[in-house]
Amino acid sequence: MLLSDLKTPAFAVDLAKLERNTARMAATAQRLGVRLRPHVKTHKTVQGALRQLRGGRSGITVSTLAEARAMHAAGFTDITYAVPIAPQKLAEAIALQRAGAEPILLTDDAGAAAALERAAFDAGVRLAVMLKVDCGYHRAGVDPASDAAVALARRLADAPNLELRGILTHAGHAYGARNADEARAIAREERDVMVGFAARLRREGIACPEVSIGSTPTCARLEELDGLAGVSEIRPGNYVFYDRFQADIGSCVLDDCAASVVTRVIGSYPERGQVAIDAGALALSKDAGATHVHAEPTYGYVVGHPELRIEALPQEHGLVRLPAGHRGLAVGTLLRVIPNHSCLAAALFSAYHVVEGERVVDEWRPVRGW
Ligand SMILES: Cc1ncc(COP(=O)(O)O)c(C=O)c1O
């Protein structure tokens, strides 16, 4: 089957680019002397995870317990669930552990810590936990400058049914960077905050074996820092596919983007300067992309057509602005769109078509749900 035979909209994964992206990040981690515990949240497939780990099944990061179960069923055991655990999900996490996985759970909250202690005690298990730290993103995590952060770490370390593995952060504020220089400064901050906080815990007599950092924009800059001493692992995820946002802030170039939404022109209206495509919000997501970098928002980059701008996304239509004087595109014309945010676009498809050049060579089925 060829790309042009696909029913649209479809989600295409360019295997050569994905292999290149995953090999590069693995090599970066190796050069820096840190473990790569890749995040699988972007693709949510066993095939993608295996490529991230060069065919191995060492530690991975997931964003849902559904991902954790699917990865465990495929032979992965060392699985960090990198979202603060809701007490109501503890039974599921314990079931996963009883089934043979070694989930590592996350918290930044004393109430959740109490629930973790109680659930582990009641179940007669020992749960591995990481303390989530806020290194500047302000989405989740303890303030590493606070005394409460040390007190919570001590509580987790002292709980007989818990094992404090260390500290974990995600510098999501790197997505607000406008260029590589700004992303590099955030990467440095992420490293320094975490290494400094780990040192503070150790001075307080609290063991902190693991120091876990990582986002795609900061991992793209790590080799430009003066080393990663004190960091034990990195957890990038988006780099498997990349997307237009990452290209806009300098994490990659557009040619690295491995995922695209394949779509067809379904209406041509040159008199009003528009064409319609069959990829709407339910194929591309409504992520507006790096609006802090671009004055003119577009819901994705139309490959080979920098002159086209996707300006509106009703549910099943995309409305594409044509430059002045454009004659329109024939209905049926096939286009490929690099989404602004590949994690969100991928999540809208129940299958990915894996392509080598124009040939569709495989189909991957991602995990869905929570
Ligand atoms: C806790 C955590 N770690 C790692 C990642 C991976 O970051 P990125 O998607 O920028 O590669 C994410 C992404 O949201 C995350 O939330």
Where on the phi/psi map is residue 201: left (φ > 0), alpha (ψ -120 to 50), or beta?
Answer: alpha
Establish whether residue 37 lines the binding site of ligand 1, counting it when its CB lies within 6 angstroms of any ligand atom: no
User: What is the overall mean pLDDT for the chain?
Assistant: 97
Choosing from 238, 245, 246 the residue with most ligand 1 atoms within 8 A of its CB, the one to mutate for a pocket test is 238
Structure tokens at 336: 């490929």
d(CA 113, ligand 1 centre) in Å? 23
Residues in the chain where the model's pLDDT stays below 70: none
Coil, strand or helix at 270:
helix
In 3D space, the residue among 319, 317, 241, 310 whose CA is nearest the CA of residue 283 turns out to be 317
Which residue is closest in CA terms to ligand 1's atom 8? 215
**Pocket of ligand 1 contains residue 43 by CB under 6 Å:** no
**What is the structure's pLDDT at 180?**
94
pTM given for the model: 0.97
Q: Check residue 16 and give its pLDDT.
A: 98
User: Measured from the CB, is residue 184 less than 6 Å from ligand 1?
Assistant: no
State the closest ligand 1 atom to the C-alpha of 139, by its place in the atom list counted from 1: 16
Share of the chain above pLDDT 70, in %: 100
The finding on whether 237 has its CB within 6 A of some atom of ligand 1 is yes
